[in-house]
Chains A and B, each alone.
Chain A
Amino acid sequence: MRRVLGLMVLTAITAMPALAGEVKKYGAGVTLNEGVSVAELLAAPEKFVGKKVRVDGVVTAVCAKRGCWMMITDPEREQGIRIKVEDGVIVFPMEAMGRKASAEGIFEVVNPAGEKHDQAQHATQAGGEHASGASCAEQEKAAKKASATYQIAGTGAIVY
């Protein structure tokens, strides 16, 4: 009888899926009532850098080894953003993949160094404008934005 009971307990523990049919909260969860779309974040990142934001979408990737990040993709716009958390503080399970999620944290620049703008290489017109019509400052800003990467330093999430 004891052996049977022990086997039942062990089976229950090992067979229990992590997320089936429930809302799972990680870290501080989400506190902001409204989210901002990934597209909006990436279209004008300078507006949001350093600010607390919430994004909603589908979990399309999870760190396989430490669960220290997950990618949330907006299915309407096909754009995703990484939610990075401190190792061990929050751990996202791989079972979260494919599920809807909301995550919150500070929007940050990961790679702020953009392409170096070499003014000597460009033919300039009067007033510092390039042949394309954009000024040196605008060209540099576009280059930085193109190669900079962004993520959210996550403080919490819910997966459902």
Chain B
Amino acid sequence: MRLRRLVVAVHRDVGYFFAGLTVLYAISGVAVNHMADWNPSYRLEKSQHQVGVVPEGTAAEQGREVARRLGIDAEPMSSVRVGPGLLKVFFEDRTLTVSLPTGEVEDERRARRFFLYEVNFLHLNKGKGWWTWFADAYAVGLALLAVTGLFILPGRKGLSGRGKWLVGAGLLAPLLYLVFFR
């Protein structure tokens, strides 16, 4: 009886502590699970322009000229020739790829996806540092939640009753996948 009370208390308190992070990771998990179909952290928009032949000059001069012709007020962060006749002009949230001989410009604008960028940043541990340890603790917390959850309820509705079937079914899906698709 005392053991069950401890199990319930651990499950409750660990559950409360990690409830928020679990929801955040769940949202991020769905987002990054479909990384093949979309960019879960950035919104990228491409468009094409024609600015005419760009006169010769330094990369910086040419970059500024292209920006002026496109009506971009911001000063380029940098302009770099990346190959024969190919210039890239960089802004904080925008990259122009310019074909100098033809004047064709590929304009790529990027923006972080609101909220998704931040949750993915956490979920994928992009920042490293102490978050790695906190994420490890979260993993331990999840394991505690799973194990304590098995023993909360006694009897028919507990592990010895319907619980064992549901636990078995839950393990069956990943096992079958590994058998047939690995």
Give me the interface of A with B, judged by CB distance under 8 Å: 13-14, 17, 58, 60, 64-67, 73, 75, 78, 80, 88, 91, 93-95, 97-100
Contact = CB atoms under 8 A, between A and B. Distances in A.
B124 A97 contact: no
A73 B97 CA distance: 14
Nearest to B88: A60
B35 A97 contact: no
A93 B39 CA distance: 13
B118 A78 contact: no
Contact of A14 (B39, B78, B81, B118): B118
B30 interface: no
A64 B44 contact: yes
Interface in B117-132: 118, 124-126
Given A14-B118, A64-B39, A88-B125, A98 B82 contact: no
Given A13-B118, A80-B82, A94-B110, A75 B59 contact: yes
B42 interface: yes
B82 A73 contact: yes
Most buried by B among A66, A67, A88: A66
B59 to A, nearest CB: 7
A22 to B, nearest CB: 14
Given A75-B80, A75-B81, A94-B110, 17 more contacts: A60-B88, A64-B39, A64-B42, A64-B44, A65-B35, A73-B82, A75-B59, A78-B83, A80-B82, A88-B125, A91-B126, A93-B126, A95-B92, A97-B90, A98-B77, A99-B77, A99-B90
B170 to A, nearest CB: 27
B105 to A, nearest CB: 16
B91 interface: yes
B86 to A, nearest CB: 8
Contact of B82 (A13, A78, A94): A78
The 6 closest A-B pairs by CB, nearest first: A98-B90, A98-B77, A91-B126, A78-B81, A98-B78, A75-B80
Nearest to A17: B92
Contacts of A95: 92
B78 A58 contact: yes
